[in-house]
């Protein structure tokens, strides 16, 4: 949640810096990149939290926590990279996607073990 608050504050600061009033979402290219980075991170947050929760409960808390921390770090790097240049988001984007897939795999493995194994 702190990351989402940080990203939202960055949008507010960018709005002030480039004099873009809400509800406008276009303007200076740097503002648009920051706005899009914040929106993208917010869109993926419910998926991340759901997978983290299920993987933590049904697979292993420590493994899920490490994956969660790595995911948050990659999203932070994604935000920083996207704020500078659109190409700067790609490496962290792919890393965060791999971590989401890993969390999905852990969640599915945990659920299968819980419900299929005696």
Catalytic residues: 16, 89
Q: Is the bond preceding 66 in cis, omega lying within 30 degrees of 0?
A: no
Please tell me the distance from the alpha carbon of residue 100 to that of residue 115, in angstroms, as a whole number: 22
Nearest to 70 by CA among 34, 111, 35, 102: 102
């Amino acid at each position: 949640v702190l990351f989402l608050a940080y990203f939202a504050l960055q949008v507010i600061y960018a709005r002030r810096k480039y004099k873009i009033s809400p509800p406008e979402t276009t303007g200076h290219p740097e503002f648009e990149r920051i706005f899009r980075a914040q929106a993208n991170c917010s869109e993926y947050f419910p998926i991340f939290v759901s997978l983290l929760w299920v993987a933590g409960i049904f697979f292993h808390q420590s493994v899920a926590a490490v994956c969660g921390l790595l995911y948050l770090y990659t999203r932070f790097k994604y935000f920083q990279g996207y704020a500078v240049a659109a190409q700067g988001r790609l490496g962290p984007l792919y890393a965060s996607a791999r971590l989401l897939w890993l969390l999905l795999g852990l969640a599915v493995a945990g659920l299968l073990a819980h419900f299929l194994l005696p």
